[in-house]
Amino acid sequence: MVNTNSGRRSTAGVSLVELLALIFIIALLLAMMLPALNQTCSPARQTQCTNNLRQLGIAIINYAACRPSNSLPSCTRGDTDRRSGLVAILPNLDESALHEQIALPLKTPQASFPAMGPTPWVKDYPPWSQRIDVLVCSSDRNIVDGAATSYVFCVGDVTRIYDKQQRPAGEFVPVQWRFGANHKPRKPRGAFSPGQSLSLDSFTDGTSNTILMGETNYGKLAINQPVIYLDRPFHCLKDSPRQVPSDHPRTRGYRWADGGAGPAMFSTILPPNSISCAVGGSDGVNGVYSVGSYHPGGAQVLMADGSVQFISEDIDTGDLSQPPIAPGASGESPYGVWGALGTTNAGDQSEPY
């Protein structure tokens, strides 16, 4: 008997409708899993950022231990090149080779550079474009430049970081990059101040109650803000959020080598994750500069004893309508517990936080 089915082919398979349904189900499952994956990754990223700050703390403390009077590096050298204090501690971050390259004159096919390099924003100088992993928090998704940093220096509860950038009447004076008597506070209130190296031994508030560094959000800087912000910081918080430029080249943390106030400093006035406001300029000027991060609910800071603390967005900031303590004056911070944590010897209350 002849098998009449021997020449037929099987037509069984998956239809287009069934394939689309399968793709939809897989996509739906992935969408449901992503929040859980992000929640899992977030603590890991925060832990990595904590470890970065601890390494910075060890580097700064070791730097001070090898200097007369247990002195910290200056947050910026205070001269025309505006180098950050991070340059000084490179050997303590296991970056001795990079520091030695910076310390010597360098010639490239494009240009010749002096010892200690040109201004930090010169992109053709190879050391300034070097990525340093310990300076980058993986939570900051906005960092696209390998030379950026996630960590900035604490200057205390002050807005007049450079003493005489503005006249008393509010008339703006163009900034000169050279820090002379007019660009250096008479008596710093924080652990760092342009052109000055403070001693850890002078921190009478206690090293466990004094902030050295903190995290910063890449970007999030309002520039050319009015002088009134220096005496009424709440205006920065209230009036500036819609004025943040998206293309400002020298923004918060844009380059680890730049020691200007906008890129490299913060004050303990506005709570973590607030806007930062540069007054009368864009980067190396007075202003209200904030810590910030992409960790939920706050940001991390490095204390002078080497510990790392998480500071909530809800921390007590006192009365933000009050002006800061005048440059050179002493006294308790008007900005509550947060302000107290930024001072070195004001004798104010900084716990609990």
The one-digit pLDDT tens for each residue of the chain (353 residues) are 444 444 444 445 667 777 788 887 888 777 776 555 455 456 676 788 999 999 999 999 999 999 888 999 999 865 456 899 999 999 999 999 999 999 999 999 989 999 999 999 898 999 999 999 999 988 776 666 678 899 999 999 999 998 654 443 343 433 433 333 345 555 789 999 998 899 999 999 999 999 999 999 876 788 889 999 999 999 998 876 555 654 567 788 889 999 999 999 999 999 999 999 999 888 889 999 999 998 889 999 999 999 999 999 999 999 999 999 876 678 899 999 999 999 998 877 666 66
DSSP result, 130-155: ---GGG--TT-TT--STT--SEEEE-
Eight-class DSSP state of 73: P
Strand partners, 83: 258
Q: d(Cα 49, Cα 60) in Å, to the nearest integer? A: 17
Determine, yes or no, domain membership for 298.
Answer: yes
Q: Is residue 7 in a domain?
A: no
Q: Which domain holds residue 327?
A: 42-342
CA-CA distance, 58 to 71, in Å (whole number)?
14
Number of domains composing the chain: 1
- The answer as to whether 73 is a domain residue is yes
27: in domain? no
Question: Could you tell me if residue 350 is inside a domain?
Answer: no
The answer to the question of residue 23 being in a domain is no
SS3 assignment, position 237: helix
d(CA 189, CA 178): 21
Is the backbone peptide bond immediately before 352 cis, with ω within 30 degrees of 0?
yes
Residue 26 lies in a domain: no
